[in-house]
């Protein structure tokens, strides 16, 4: 099935955690990484998060630099890339910052099990895509996004969505900023949570680039095709 080029961008602590055991967002990287992330957003057709991230952090996912927003407008695009939430049960609050802040398209991907009354409320805020029975079928969903003209898709977490995308074989590259802090905690989200691979299923990566950035390091990985998938 045709799908967009998909990459994950995230920041994690030296011990691989994306936030604390209370699942509260923490500042892991500095201004340089923040600007790099903003450029990645501005260069994407869409950015995607899981409902867990929306409920925990309520991000707006807008492009913060006015220059980058202007560049997008000059190129005939919306100021912000389309903002997408993966949300099987339509739990996204109608007053979420993604709906409140910035211009541009919003898309909520739900499953067939989402309550109709909640989906109807979200329809007033966003385009709705239905993919999958109980939980969102990410393969179907990304193929649908491609048919809507989304060629470059940025995944901004969290841990469970990262797992869903990687384990479905839908990710081309992963960029991780590793910051100079230890968060700890068995239940704190890591770069990839979910069910986890068995030894035979482990996903292999190829290091494309590594760069010291402020007090941490930026790693760029290519996800290798897995012949067993």
Which residue ranges make up the site for ligand NAP (CB under 6 A)?
A: 10-12, 18-19, 23, 25, 28, 49-53, 56-57, 86-89, 91, 135-136, 138, 156-161, 164, 189, 193
Q: Which is nearer to ligand NAP, 74 or 142 (CB)?
A: 142
* Minimum distance of ligand NAP from residue 75's CB (angstroms): 27
Q: Least distance (Å) from ligand NAP to the CB of residue 73?
A: 27
* Residue 188 neighbours by CB distance under 10 Å: 21
Kindly tell me which of 46 and 49 has the beta carbon lying closer to ligand NAP: 49
Output the six-digit token pair for 227: 């012949």
In whole angstroms, the minimum distance from the beta carbon of 135 to ligand NAP comes to 4
| Residue 81 or 157 with smaller CB distance to ligand NAP | 157
Nearer to ligand NAP, 31 or 66 (CB): 31
């Amino acid at each position: 099935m045709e799908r967009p080029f998909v990459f994950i961008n995230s920041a994690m602590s030296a011990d691989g955690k994306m936030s604390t055991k209370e699942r509260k967002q923490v500042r892991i990287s500095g201004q340089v990484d923040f600007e790099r992330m903003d450029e990645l957003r501005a260069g994407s057709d869409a950015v995607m998060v899981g409902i867990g991230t929306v409920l925990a952090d309520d991000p707006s996912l807008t492009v913060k630099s006015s220059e980058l927003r202007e560049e997008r407008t000059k190129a005939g695009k919306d100021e912000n890339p389309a903002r997408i939430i993966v949300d099987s049960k339509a739990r996204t609050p109608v007053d979420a910052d993604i709906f409140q802040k910035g211009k541009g398209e919003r898309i909520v991907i739900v499953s067939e099990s989402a309550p109709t009354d909640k989906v109807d409320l979200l329809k007033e805020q966003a385009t709705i895509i239905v993919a999958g029975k109980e939980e969102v079928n990410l393969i179907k969903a990304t193929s649908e996004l491609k048919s809507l003209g989304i060629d470059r898709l940025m995944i901004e977490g969290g841990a469970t969505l990262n797992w869903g995308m990687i384990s479905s074989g839908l990710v081309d590259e992963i960029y991780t900023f590793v910051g100079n802090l230890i968060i700890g905690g068995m239940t704190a989200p890591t770069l990839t949570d979910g069910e986890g691979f068995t030894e035979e299923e482990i996903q292999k990566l190829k290091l494309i680039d590594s760069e010291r950035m402020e007090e941490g390091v930026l790693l760029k990985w290519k996800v290798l095709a897995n012949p067993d998938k």
